[in-house]
Amino acid sequence: MAYIKFDDSKVSKFVQANELPEMQALVTAADQELRNGTGAGADFRGWLTLPTDYDHEEFARIQKAAEKIQQDSDVLVVIGIGGSYLGAKMAVDFLNGSFYNSKPKSERRGVQVVFTGNSLSASYLKELQDFVGDRDFSINVISKSGTTTEPSIAFRIFKEKLIKKYGQEEASRRIYATTDAKNGALRQEVEANGYESFIIPDGVGGRFSVLTPVGLLPIAATGADLNELMHGAADAAAAYQDADLSKNDAYRYAALRNILYRKGYVTELIENYEPNLRMFAEWWKQLMGESEGKDQKGIYPSSANFTTDLHSLGQYIQEGLRNLFETVVKVTKPPYNVDIPMEKDNLDGLNYLKGQTLNEVNDKAYEGVVLAHNDGGVPVLTVEIPDESEYSLGYLIYFFEVAVGISGYLNGINPFNQPGVEAYKQNMFALLGKPGYEELAAKLKKEID
């Protein structure tokens, strides 16, 4: 029996019975491209075998570093952007709940973990400095090059704060760098100052890097079980080997979303019914959008958090333009449950819920929403996981990673590059007066004027 339950029954009105079997030949070809390295972007398939083929010595060092951080720090400041931030933040929220950083130390498994370097907001950075205050803290700076603008600025500022508090020598012992093995500005700084460092593997792109040191150190700092996380991903890797669509739900998901895309369903909403999965949606949006949005093609990845967004986006989903479909990530057994109390006067009319729990009500909301949206012309897919454990998270991560690899090849693009990401950077550098961008700066100035 599959660990993840994939329910595609609510696309039967939109996909003919013959369509999925007829995708099998294309899926088999995409699988061969992915597994044999004959497809575009083959050098960035390291994530495929990562759950079992990783540096175990480095893995042990990550766990020891996390223990040291837990012993000498109250806060870990994680500095990174994109894949160097979203995966770790997603996992911290998924595994620890919405209010992890607000809990007293006695109720947390590890240190508070906060994130910066993911925007250019002075207000956010100042507020984060105030949050850290005079407490003991460490830094995990994550950057392949060490020159990405947002994290580089944040690192300068928090490094200065660290040095002022502890002095250069002790500050260097509290900085953990996750970067390239040999090259880049951050690697040079590591060698010059003796920071403990971890490697971003060459064959794993940023959006696939959560199960590398990029994600593992921040996750471990919260006290999470890294062994179970990797165990779940390894079991998923074994489960999703067969290209047969009747046996491989990750491939089936990839095939169905491509069938829907070709019918004009060009927007996919990833949805949840647990608020601590909101960052999972943010991680998923980068994974899907950066992998598939190129060559003027690709499904647009969006998200909604239910039941909250039913009171804002629900009207559009129900009756708006019929170009979207939904993928729900559902948790069978959330970590907590709450009984609904009775009231004598019953002014709010809720006494009919006598004997039911909030999780039961949430489940019925899910069922009602799926039926309503389906009747309104929206295809709905459901990916259901048993719980919010490390094992389940590892399994879920791999499900979507392998699905997007297949999905990209089905759509005839390279799912592992991101050539369009650099365009805004060039303009920003020119407008800021970075050396070497004078010609572009002059051109942009004329356009602005």
Task: Tell me which of 189, 271, 290, 390 is the catalytic residue.
Answer: 290
Estimate to the nearest angstrom the gap between the alpha carbon of 424 and the chain centroid: 22
Q: How far apart are CA 221 and CA 69, in angstroms?
A: 7
* 3 state SS of 40: coil
For the four alpha carbons of 233, 115, 331 and 384, in that order, the dihedral sign comes to negative
Concerning whether 425 is annotated as a catalytic residue, the answer is yes
Q: Which residues have CB under 8 Å from 230's CB, separation 6+?
A: 51, 54, 59, 211, 394
Beta strand 5-10 with 380-385 is: antiparallel
Give, for 137, the enclosing helix (H) or strand (E).
Answer: strand 137-142
Task: Go through the chain and tell me how many residues it has.
Answer: 449
Task: Tell me which of 126, 425, 443, 445 is the catalytic residue.
Answer: 425
Per-residue DSSP letters for 54-103? Answer: S-HHHHHHHHHHHHHHHHH-SEEEEE--GGGTHHHHHHHHHHH-TTGGGS
Concerning whether 360 is annotated as a catalytic residue, the answer is no
Q: How far apart are CA 163 and CA 171, in angstroms?
A: 5
Task: Write out the catalytic residue numbers.
Answer: 290, 425
